[in-house]
Amino acid sequence: MEVKNKAVIYDLDGTLWDSSREVVEAWNIVLARYPHLNKQITVEDMHSYMGKNIFDIFRLILPDVSKEERNSIMEESIIEQENYLKKHGGTLYKGVLEMLARLKDKYKLIIVSNCQDGYAQTFLDYTKLWDEFCDFEVHGRTGMCKGDNIKLVMERNGIEKAVYVGDTKGDSEAAQHAGVPFIYASYGFGEVEKPLYVAKNIQDVVEMAEEILG
């Protein structure tokens, strides 16, 4: 039976799925339209951007480009990425479907990501996981930091006890900001110093979430 006031809140990239290769391909299509920039990115680059919001990412990709041109390229990239992911999707980590099925019986499941608006919806569309999650929130929709978005979804869903699962230092800081325990998904992209809970795989996430939330 679902516990109405407890939740497992997830980051998206590097936690539930890996779409880095597909996003790189989509963004490079757009960057190729601007040959004067002579710029392409790699999957390794993308992994280093994980956890940052879209504006910060494009400042890293195009540091010497005017704000106007950079924002224009960013908007094109978002559209190209959304269309690309609708066709090709990303790759769910092994065990995610089983994890969601097990935890959904006990807790509310929610996504909080620093992605742009539309990305989480594309993830849910492609994976057909709308019914597994009761809510989601993203930086691109609220303009707020991840920690405040965690607080927001907890408030609007009546959550009294939650855990946040993510793979980056920023995720750890967001959980601390929101006052919730953090499970570090070490199978993802990022590095976190001295986390209390380290999940080496999806099964670890299940066991730790159940241990923390009861």
Domain boundaries, the chain: 6-18+91-213, 20-88
State the first-to-last Cα distance of the chain, in angstroms, to the nearest integer: 13
pLDDT at 37: 96
Listed as ranges, residues in the chain with pLDDT below 70 are: 1-3
Q: Note the CATH number of domain 20-88.
A: 1.10.150
Strand 6-10, strand 108-113: pairing: parallel
Count of H-run helices and E-run strands, the chain: 10, 8
Task: Answer whether 30's CB lies under 8 Å from 41's CB.
Answer: no
> What's residue 51's pLDDT?
78
Over its C-alpha atoms, the chain yields an Rg (Å, rounded) of 17
Q: In this predicted structure, what is the pLDDT of residue 3?
A: 55
CA distances (Å), origin 48, targets 7, 32, 129, 211:
28, 21, 27, 31
Contact 133, 110 (CB under 8 A): yes
pTM: 0.91
Write the DSSP assignment of 43-103 as a string of letters. HHHHHHHTTS-HHHHHHHHSTTS-HHHHHHHHHHHHHHHHHHHHHH--EEPTTHHHHHHHH
Per the DSSP assignment, residues forming a β-bridge with 91 are 18
Looking at the domain covering 6-18+91-213, what would its CATH class be?
A: alpha beta
Q: What is the pLDDT of residue 8?
A: 99
Q: Given its phi and psi angles, is residue 128 left (phi above 0), alpha (psi -120 to 50 degrees) or beta?
A: left
Fold agreement between 6-18+91-213 and 20-88: no
pLDDT at residue 4, as a whole number: 76
